[in-house]
């Protein structure tokens, strides 16, 4: 049952990730990206990490993608108003993307030989255990990363502020 769910979610994630790139309308791309995030959240649930899944949905699907959607809907992007890239650029992009894919495939081929990671504790994704790990073992990195967020927030406010004369 879990295996079928895994295949279904993976198929959904890959398909919608492809559709993000392929679809012509940017709004459709964003909606497909939201679908990808949901499929990944489903993977987290399969790994028994419900907290991570919920936070993933709140942060990515709920907040970041809504802002994306917001901006793209406001921009009114159309094929005739946007500057179109030349033909040689498309060829170059395809070649570059293909090379990157070759590198990735080459890198990930060896990953198949390594042992699958088995969590030593399958309750680690539960919120209580996760909180203990975050606030005991990784206290300093956790706090530093929250300061990073604060800095980003202050920076955004500074950029958004009107010029003081």
d(CA 28, CA 32): 6
In whole angstroms, the minimum distance from the beta carbon of 85 to other proteins comes to: 25
d(CA 40, CA 43): 5
Positions in the binding site for other proteins (CB under 8 A): 25, 27, 31, 34, 50-51, 53-55, 57-58, 61-63, 65-67, 69-70, 73-74, 126-127
> Please, which residue, 10 or 50, has the CB nearer to other proteins?
50
> Please, which residue, 66 or 99, has the CB nearer to other proteins?
66
Cβ-based neighbours of 37, under 8 Å, separated by 6 or more: 56, 57, 60, 61, 65
> Please, which residue, 66 or 92, has the CB nearer to other proteins?
66
In whole angstroms, the minimum distance from the beta carbon of 6 to other proteins comes to: 20
In whole angstroms, the minimum distance from the beta carbon of 165 to other proteins comes to: 22
d(CA 45, CA 40): 9
In whole angstroms, the minimum distance from the beta carbon of 57 to other proteins comes to: 4
> Please, which residue, 17 or 54, has the CB nearer to other proteins?
54
d(CA 10, CA 38): 11
Start-to-end CA span in the chain (Å): 65
């Amino acid at each position: 049952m879990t295996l079928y769910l895994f295949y279904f979610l993976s198929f959904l994630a890959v398909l919608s990730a492809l559709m993000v790139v392929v679809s012509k309308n940017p709004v459709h791309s964003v909606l497909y990206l939201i679908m990808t995030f949901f499929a990944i959240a489903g993977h987290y649930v399969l790994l028994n990490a419900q907290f991570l899944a919920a936070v993933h949905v709140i942060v990515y699907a709920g907040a970041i993608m809504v802002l994306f959607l917001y901006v793209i809907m406001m921009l009114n992007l159309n094929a005739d108003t946007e500057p179109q890239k030349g033909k040689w650029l498309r060829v170059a992009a395809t070649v570059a993307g293909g090379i990157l894919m070759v590198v990735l495939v080459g890198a990930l081929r060896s990953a198949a030989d390594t042992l699958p990671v088995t969590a030593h504790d399958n309750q680690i994704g539960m919120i209580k255990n996760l909180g203990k790990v975050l606030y005991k073992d990784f206290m300093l990195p956790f706090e530093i990363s929250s300061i990073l967020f604060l800095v980003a927030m202050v920076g955004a406010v500074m950029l958004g502020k009107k010029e003081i004369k």
